Structure 1
Amino acid sequence: MSPQLRRLAAALAGVPAKPAAKAAPGKVPAGKLPTRPSGKLIPKPSWRAPSLRLRLIDAVALAAGGLLLLKLIGFAAEDGTPRRTDFAQVLAHARTNSEPADPSVTGSVLPKEEGEAAKDPLKDLPKPAAKAPPESGSAAERAILEKLGARREALQQRNRDLDTREQLIENAERRLESRINDLKFLEDKAEGGAARKAESEAAALKPIVTMYETMKPKDAARVFDRLSLDVLVPVVVAMNPRKMAEVLAVMQPEAAEKLTVALAMRARGVAPLPASPGAPPLPPNELPAIDAPMR
């Protein structure tokens, strides 16, 4: 090692450098060329013995070369052909003025599906069978589960029964509504028939009523004394009350009394009293007797 490197290493290590030894007479210090007595340098011989000492720059060069060799080996082992870096591709494009080749065209890059299959070799393996569910717990848990299942079935059956009852009730309501509508129709029909019957009877009795109203009261009274109440009452009801009052005044007292009782019962909506079973039939112009309460 040269004296300059030694002094530099000593300075870095903190050790005082030793003074350079004086050269003995007749000897030339290391690192200096020998001189002639005239002061001229003696040229070094062209061949020098090989040095076995390893310098720092040599070590750095060897390390860089080894690193470069390892990288080349790694690239070759990765895909067989070294890839260009982005900078190298840009530089090549600038020099040749041509687009860089697509690596997929040369076959250096596998298709996407093949690449995914190569990346995931375990994808095609059959999936493991699903784990069987663990065995049920203790007997108490099984009993609770059975009770819950029975309770659920009972609730479901009850819901079905309720649905059936609701359907039956709805059907009954529909039938009842239909029956009510039929009864209303029959009632309206009956009322309409009764009204039409009353109108037809009134229209039929109108000529007879007009005839008796135009007769003299004495003549009409003689006829009314002999008529039955079933025929006389409708005619009297249809007559004018003033005209009927004149006729009633000249009628026989018994006939006038029976006619008055029949008109009162008709106004109250009470049917005439039937005759007793053992009594003889009444004449057509007489009413049954009314038993007055004892006082």
Structure 2
Amino acid sequence: MKPKTRRRQPGRGALVVIASLLLLSAGFRVSDGAGQALALAKEGVEVSPLAEKGPQACETPEDIRRVLKAIQNREKTLKQRETTLADRMQALSVAKRETDKKLRELLEAEQSLRETMAMAESASETDLGRLTKVYESMKPKQAAALFEEMDPNFAAGFLGRMRPEAAAAIMAGLTPQAAHSFSVVLAGRHANVPKE
């Protein structure tokens, strides 16, 4: 049997050579720059005044200066608009809270009004029911005398709520004119109701 040989990966040796050359180059540059700096320090070389002041501001060309000024003005305008927009958003937020509060109060008042109206209708219905029973329990002749004095619409409302026997007894005691007008009102109350 043949001994196994290890296969090398292609290109691996080239990477090692390149890395070695880069490290060697960096070493030369550092040693060269450090040598020059040490030599200048030993010789007492005078540093130029420009180097002492540090970086100097260079003059900006006019066209670039105009563009920078326009950008600064635009930024200032945008900041003002942003502030105005933030103020408006705050005002809208306050207005929305107030509107929501007023709407809740209005809904509560509407509910309270509905309850009050329901109680009033219930009380009114109760009162009308009692008064109708009073008229039904009266003697027909006495009730007829009262009905003669009533408005036909008002009297017809009571007659329509009464038991038919009681209403007939009262109608029999009325004058023919009063009985006719009450009958017309009673018959016409539902004449405008849709039939289909």
Shorter-chain TM range is 0.5 to 0.7
CA distance in 1: counterparts of 2:92 and 2:156, whole angstroms:
52
Query: Does 1 or 2 have the higher relative contact order (CA < 8 Å, sep 6+)?
Result: 2
2:98 to 154, 175, 180: 175
Report deviation, 1:206.
3.2
Give 1:220's aligned residue.
143
TM-score, with structure 2 as normaliser: 0.54
Residue by residue over 1:68-90, the C-alpha shift from the partner in whole angstroms, topping out at 9 and shown as x without a partner, is: xxxxxxxxxxxxxxxxxxxxxxx
Q: Counterpart of 2:22?
A: none
User: Contact conserved, 2:132 with 2:158, CA < 8 A, in 1?
Assistant: yes
Higher helix share: 2
Which blocks of at least 5 consecutive residues in structure 1 are unaligned? 1-121, 123-127, 269-295
Per the normalisation by structure 1, the TM-score is 0.38
The structural deviation recorded for 1:247 is: 6.0
Measure how far apart 1:142 and its partner are: 0.7
Asked if residue 240 in structure 1 is aligned to residue 165 in structure 2, the reply is no
Partner of 1:257: 181
* Alpha-carbon distance between aligned partners in 1 of 2:64 and 2:81, rounded to the nearest angstrom: 26
Q: How far apart are residue 230 of structure 1 and its match?
A: 8.9
Q: Which aligned segments of 4 or more residues in structure 1 are displaced greater than 4 angstroms?
A: 216-219, 228-237
In the aligned structure 2, how far is the partner of 1:163 from the partner of 1:140?
35
Uncovered stretches (5+) of structure 2, i.e. residues with no partner: 1-40, 42-50
Structure 1 residue 200: Cα displacement: 2.1
CA displacement at 1:248 relative to structure 2? 7.3
Q: Does 1:189 align with 2:112?
A: yes
Deviations 1:211-234 (A, max 9, x none): 222345554333112135796576
2:122 matched residue in structure 1: 199
Q: Is the 8 A contact 2:153 2:185 kept in 1?
A: no
Task: Output aligned runs, 1:1-295, within 5 Å.
Answer: 131-132=54-55, 134-215=57-138, 217-228=140-151, 232=155, 235=158, 239-240=161-162, 242=164, 246=168, 249-250=171-172, 251-252=174-175, 253-254=177-178, 257=181, 260=185, 264=189
Which residue type is aligned with residue 148 of structure 1? I
- The answer (yes or no) to whether the contact 1:136–1:142 under 8 Å persists in 2 is no
Amino acid at match of 1:202: E
Report the number of matched residues.
Answer: 139
Partners of 1:146 and 1:249 in 2: CA distance: 101
Shift of 1:138: 0.7
1:80-131 residue CA offsets vs partner (Å, 9 max, x unmatched): xxxxxxxxxxxxxxxxxxxxxxxxxxxxxxxxxxxxxxxxxx9xxxxx8773
Cα distance in 1 for partners of 2:53, 2:180 equals 112
SS of 1:135's partner is: coil
Distance 1:234-1:245 versus aligned 2 partners, 3 A rule: closer
Give the CA RMSD over aligned residues. Answer: 3.7
Comparing 192-201 and 148-157, the one that deviates more: 192-201
Q: In the alignment, residue 260 of structure 1 is paired with which amino acid?
A: V
Q: Which has the larger radius of gyration?
A: 1
Instruction: For residues 170-219 of structure 1, give each alpha carbon's deviation from its aligned partner in whole angstroms, at most 9, with x where no partner exists.
Output: 21111111111111111111111121122223333433211222345554
State the percentage of identical aligned residues.
19
- Cα distance in 2 for residues equivalent to 1:213 and 1:129: 121
- Give the Cα–Cα distance (whole angstroms) in 1 for the partners of residues 166 and 60 of structure 2: 106
Contact conserved, 2:144 with 2:170, CA < 8 A, in 1?
A: yes
